[in-house]
């Protein structure tokens, strides 16, 4: 099947009808890494790393950090370069393998954030780029937040990003290079799932062409903030787009809300 057919199917999707099986983070973790850390995305990662650095160092008296759902380990690398002692984990062993290659000598393990897999306290914990939105039950979500709180030092902070659902843009977005094509479309959902994103990617030289749906739950930043306060955080703040000087405004049209939970 040619790329155009996939992109047409992506554009025509009106309702959620699951396809694919998260091969992006399993079978193709090593190639998707190239797409993650590409072009403008690099700037996004740098901005996020600066935000995490500032939030942790302003609140806390130390620089230990765990990235939950660390993916291919880009934040771990950037935080390491900023003087942090870092560790990470991800649900998918294949992502862990790529993250370890990027971060030799760093402890990166396979684990589920619902059952926090480290047994120590750190100054900062993050779950970046919607990693927390894969948790599909309220109980699991609360347990995750409790785990974050229990593994932070006094004055530690948790940083969780999430889409803001009402402003979700349903356009198809396409990125292409000489060696791959990536297309993505977010679709709003009713019911237990907040949204789903359908992604198509092709790497012709490697014979890869996939389309799959990524189901996203519990995205409302204010619900997340409230849940954090119930699960051990003293206070919370919702920022916009990893800008430390900008509080999130739900009427602004932005869809990049970042919830920070502060321990005391």
Ligand X SMILES: C[S@@+](CC[C@H](N)C(=O)[O-])C[C@H]1O[C@@H](n2cnc3c(N)ncnc32)[C@H](O)[C@@H]1O
Q: Which residue is nearest to ligand X (CB)?
A: 71
Candidates 85, 112, 212, 243; binder of ligand X (CB under 6 A) is: 112
25 lies in the site for ligand X, by CB under 6 A: yes
Selected binder of ligand X within 113, 145, 182, 183 (CB under 6 A): 113
DSSP letters of 74-107?
Answer: HHHHHHHHTT-EEEEEES-HHHHHHHHHHSTTSE
Site string for ligand X, 44-83 (x = CB under 6 A): ------------------------xxxx--x---------
CB of residue 1 to ligand X, shortest distance in Å: 25
Quick one: which segment of 53-61, 128-136, 217-225, 238-246 binds ligand X (CB under 6 A)? 128-136
Question: Which helix or strand (DSSP H or E) is residue 200 part of?
Answer: strand 195-203
Which residues contact residue 195 at a Cβ distance below 8 angstroms, ignoring those fewer than 6 apart? 163, 165, 168, 186, 187, 188, 189, 216, 219
Task: Give the three-state DSSP class for 131.
Answer: helix
The residue (of 69 and 221) whose beta carbon lies closer to ligand X is: 69
Q: Is 237 in the site for ligand X (CB under 6 A)?
A: no
Count other Cβ atoms within 10 Å, centred on residue 204.
12
CA atoms within 13 A on the CB side of 144: 27
Cβ proximity to ligand X: between 112 and 243 the closer is 112
Among residue numbers 79 through 108, which ones bind ligand X (CB under 6 A)? 90-92, 95
- Interface characters, 141-180, with ligand X (x: CB under 6 A): ----------------------------------------
Which C-beta is closer to ligand X: that of 36 or that of 84?
Answer: 36
HSE-CB of 170 using CA atoms within 13 angstroms: 14
Confirm if 148 and 115 have CB atoms less than 8 A apart: no
Using CB under 6 A as the binding criterion, the count of chain residues that bind ligand X stands at: 20
- Is residue 114 at the binding interface for ligand X, with CB under 6 A as the rule? yes
Q: How many CA atoms lie within 13 A of 32 on its CB side?
A: 22
Q: Is 131 in the site for ligand X (CB under 6 A)?
A: yes
How far apart (Å, rounded) are the C-alpha atoms in residues 93 and 132?
17
The residues of the shown chain that bind ligand X, judged by CB under 6 A, are 25, 36, 68-71, 74, 90-92, 95, 112-114, 128-131, 134-135
């Amino acid at each position: 099947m040619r790329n155009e057919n996939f992109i047409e199917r992506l554009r025509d999707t009106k309702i959620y009808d699951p396809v694919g099986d998260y091969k992006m983070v399993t079978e193709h973790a090593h190639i998707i890494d190239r797409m993650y850390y590409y072009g403008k995305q690099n700037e996004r990662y740098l901005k996020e790393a600066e935000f995490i650095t500032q939030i942790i160092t302003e609140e806390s008296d130390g620089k230990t950090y765990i990235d939950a759902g660390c993916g291919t380990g880009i934040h771990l690398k950037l935080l390491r370069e900023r003087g942090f002692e870092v560790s990470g984990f991800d649900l998918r062993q294949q992502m862990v393998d790529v993250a370890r290659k990027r971060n030799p000598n760093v402890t990166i393990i396979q684990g589920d954030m619902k059952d926090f897999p480290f047994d120590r306290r750190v100054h900062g914990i993050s779950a970046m780029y919607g990693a927390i939105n894969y948790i599909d039950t309220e109980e699991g979500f609360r347990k995750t937040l409790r785990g974050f709180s229990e593994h932070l030092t006094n004055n530690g902070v948790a940083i969780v990003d999430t889409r803001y659902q009402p402003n979700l843009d349903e356009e198809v977005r396409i990125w292409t290079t000489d060696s791959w094509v990536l297309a993505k479309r977010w679709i709003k959902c009713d019911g237990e799932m907040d949204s789903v994103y359908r992604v198509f990617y092709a790497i012709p030289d490697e014979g890869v062409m996939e389309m799959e749906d990524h189901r996203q739950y519990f995205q409302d930043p204010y619900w997340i903030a409230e849940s954090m306060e119930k699960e051990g955080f003293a206070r919370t703040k919702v920022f916009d787009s990893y800008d430390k000087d900008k509080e999130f405004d739900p009427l602004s049209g932005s869809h990049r809300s970042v919830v920070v939970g502060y321990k005391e």
